[in-house]
Amino acid sequence: MKIDNANSTFEMLVDEYLTTRPDIPHKWETSESSVWGHRKDLICGTSPEVWASLTEVQISIGRAGEHVDFESFGRKISAEQVASEAFEYFKTFLNDVM
C-alpha cells in the first residue's frame, strides 16, 4: 500500500514544527533508486543527526544506529495516523539530542 498521504501529512507536520524551531538545522533531500524507488529524506541537527526517510510504503525515523519504521500494513490505520505516529517519534528523537 502506498502512503503518499502519510508522507504529505508528515512533511506538513514537520515543516510547521521546524518553523517554530529555527535553532534546528535541517534539510530535505530527494533521491531516486532503481532498487528502492523514490525517497525523500529529512536530516536534522549535526551530531548526532536525526533523520526521517519517506518512501512509497513507509516512513522511517532514526538517529545514530537506531531507527523505527512506520507503516499501515496489517494495522488497519489511516495514512494520517501513520504520519502522526512517525511525527511524534521524530519529535522525541529531536528533543533527546537538541
Q: How many C-beta atoms surround the C-beta of residue 30 within 10 A?
A: 9
Judge residue 65's burial from the number of C-beta atoms within 10 Å of its C-beta, 0-12 exposed, 13-18 middle, 19 or more buried.
exposed
d(CA 39, CA 74): 22
Q: How many C-beta atoms surround the C-beta of residue 43 within 10 A?
A: 15
pLDDT tens, residue by residue, 32-43? 877 767 889 999
Q: What's the whole-model pTM score?
A: 0.86
Residue 55: give the domain boundaries: 4-97
Domain count, the chain: 1
| CATH number for 11 | 3.30.160
pLDDT tens, residue by residue, 15-25? 999 999 999 99
Say if CB 80 and CB 8 are below 8 A apart. no
